[in-house]
Structure 1
Amino acid sequence: METNMEEIRALEYPQLLGKTYLDHAGTTPWAKSLVDSFATDMMTDLYGNPHSEHAPSKLADTRVEATREKALGFFNADPAEWDLVFVANATAAIKLVHDCFRDHAIEKRQNWWYGYHKDAHTSVVGVREGTRTHRCFRNDREVELWIESRGLGGANANDLALFAYPGQSNMTGRRLPLAWPGRIQDRIRSKVYTLLDAAALVSTTQLDLSNTSTAPDFVALSFYKIFGFPNLGALLVKKSSSQVLMNRKFFGGGTVEMTPIGRSMVPRR
């Protein structure tokens, strides 16, 4: 059966009637059926704070976990191999990685080396401000030479090292090699964690994280770039790499069991 795109546009995107929208890279327009479904759910079910212990809170907690599992499935990410942290957007996901690496380096008394690609979004570039040493790779060839040389011109053997790059350039729309994380893992002698900023890429492309041996350690993305709604993002974390995120100093809200007065130890959830 042939799909009539004009009918779909009129039915699902009435807000576009008589308008031309040219900022799909920023965010995609939301579909009417998505907003209607959300509104019906909000008016039908009663949700509470997921960290409380009453029926509405338990319903919210159940829905959050179900959504987390469904989101992992959307990227072919096995829940046994991956965690998903809901955040405000891709920038918040990248900042979370920054904060965790900074605090881990302090805790372990390591130098933190950071490499990033020239085509990176400002959020990825901004991570360099929290590092001691950093390098901007000016093009793909510089990245390839770094990988093939087994890390020359990069981190020292004892450094905490992170390489970040975009799956797709916000400026040009060019897509960068998704094979880099696997090759970095195979070729570079010392451990280098990899962060993929997938925000622009996943707006039009299916991201497949089923092969953990070639996947990045961390993936930052914004759901509103895919669906238009809601205003949420996520940080996908490979469980085998999650230990580097465990020394973050900041705590609050549902991330802790309690906050004892006068004691430095705070039980984390």
Structure 2
Amino acid sequence: MGAALYPESLIRVHSNTLSRSIMGNTHSMSTSSLLSSNNADEARSAILSFFDAPSGYTVVFTANASGALKLIGESFPFAPDSSYVLGADSHNSVHGIRQYAAEKNAQVSYIPATPQGGFYLDVAKEVLFLNRPTIARSGASLFALTAQSNVSNTKNPLWSLAYASSLGYDTLLDAAAWVPTSSYSLRAHPVDAMAISFYKMFGYPTGIGALIARTSFLTRLNRPWFSGGSVSIVQAPGTAFTRAERLEEQFEDGTVNYLVLSAITDGLRFLSGYQPFLPLRLSCLLHYLVDELQQSHHPDGSPLVRVLSRRPTSRVRRVGEESDTGFSLSFQYLLPSGNSIPLAFIEYLAQKHNIALRTGCMCNPGGAAALLGVQDFMELLRPSTQLRDFERIVGRELGVVRVSLGLASSFQDAWRVVQFSRRLVNEQWRQWYWDQWLEDCGVIGQAL
């Protein structure tokens, strides 16, 4: 979910493409530029096909999913009688759109998170209904849905998109965490705009994502500036300018990363061969991880692990079947006292054992606060508050350990995490590494 492991075959294919081709800036008519333009068109077509997009959609290339979300935030026609509705359990890039809404005096409304992340269906409907566009509130309103939480592992109900649309909202989907391991059809679940990052899906290339949007929606957006590539003519000096003829190019600032566009087409082809099987395999791995970790106990019988994220209600049994959650696990390692083991120490241990995991709040403050039960403390935050200040207010370290399963995850990976975890119950083993950690970090006067 943070970044997929890139397949060797994809790197080899792309390396061969680069070695036998000369590509140039797409904003030209030279032979090398036309090759890049053809690669861009093929990539756009492959993306629309991969997500089963009906006619009326186009693809805007961005630096990543955050760049796609920023495009919407800066261009959406917010007004004093507009609403921006989003879930508390969203990525910071979705939260960040509220800055653009606030600058134009639009109303920002949150759907509160449940203790396990995501939101209750009836609460979401109520918030959407109360803030819906009306005759008195005629400004354009936006509903941003996080398809899958990157910290709570919750898959939010896609029906909320259709419900919001029926109330008059424009709809935006953050699909960055969903699409690496689950299929998505824009024909079955239409949305006005959807943000993705390709490196989260198949690992390579980094530095490029996409905004997949209805052309009718893009024509209603107001870009606050123009740049090279997004215009065809500019009066200088003066104020007149004409935007690029192709709609998607009006939103692509400067030169797109043309050297890697063919890798997107190849990557989608690669992923499409595995995606039907991913939920079945990853469901088995996730259930194994949860079962084994929850059976790990200290010698006194106290639990080693506290699982915080949402777990699937059932196993995936067939190829093509989808899971009702994602395939990540957010949890805390506990001492016999019940206090959590410091996250920095866990990262240190994992690095020593060549295990890649992540700690912290995963750029998702609302979801993490829900899992950690500190939502009420959010009201105490001020613009200058740092994480250490917030932890001092709460009285404990904030964050979780996250294990993410994806395209390249194997049973051996899951097994190694379990074996690593079981060694944590050995006090002597733990203390030896603790002393090494203090020495390596130069930390003095702390005790486990």
TM interval, short-chain normalised: 0.7 to 0.9
Deviation at 1:178, TM superposition (A): 1.1
Q: What is residue 144 of structure 1 aligned with on the other side? A: 125
What is the distance in 2 between the residues matched to 1:37 and 1:44? 11
Contact 1:164 1:194 in 2 (8 A): yes
Residues 1:34 and 2:10 aligned together: yes
Residues 1:83 and 2:61 aligned together: no
Of 226, 235, 238 in structure 1, the residue corresponding to residue 201 of structure 2 is 226
Q: What is residue 174 of structure 1 aligned with on the other side? A: 154
Contact 1:31 1:228 in 2 (8 A): yes
Contact 1:115 1:154 in 2 (8 A): no
Instruction: Give secondary structure in 2 for the equivalent of 1:202.
Output: coil
AA aligned to 2:94 is V
What is the distance in 1 between the residues matched to 2:89 and 2:75? 24
Q: What is residue 203 of structure 1 aligned with on the other side? A: 180
Q: What is residue 183 of structure 1 aligned with on the other side? A: 163
Deviation at 1:155, TM superposition (A): 4.8
Residues 1:192 and 2:159 aligned together: no
Q: Which runs of 5+ in 1 are unaligned?
A: 1-24
Contact 2:63 2:209 in 1 (8 A): yes
Residues 1:118 and 2:94 aligned together: no
Alignment of 1:6-25 (within 5 A): 25=1
What is the distance in 1 between the residues matched to 2:49 and 2:38? 17
Instruction: Give secondary structure in 2 for the equivalent of 1:173.
Output: coil
Alignment of 1:240-255 (within 5 A): 240-245=216-221, 247-255=222-230
**Greater gyration radius:** 2
CA offset digits 1:112-149 (Å, max 9, x no partner): 321110111011011111212201110333212245xx
Going from structure 1 to structure 2, the CA distance change for 1:110 and 1:144 (only over 3 Å counts) comes to closer
Deviation at 1:258, TM superposition (A): 2.4
Contact 1:219 1:235 in 2 (8 A): yes
Of 30, 36, 61 in structure 2, the residue corresponding to residue 54 of structure 1 is 30
CA RMSD, aligned part only? 1.6
CA offset digits 1:147-194 (Å, max 9, x no partner): 5xxx224455312200102100111111001111112222x2xx2111
Contact 2:132 2:169 in 1 (8 A): no
Count of paired positions: 230
AA aligned to 2:40 is V
Relative to the length of structure 1, the TM-score reads: 0.81
Q: What is residue 5 of structure 1 aligned with on the other side? A: none
**Greater length-normalized contact order (CA 8 Å, ≥ 6 residues apart):** 1
What is the distance in 1 between the residues matched to 2:82 and 2:131? 14
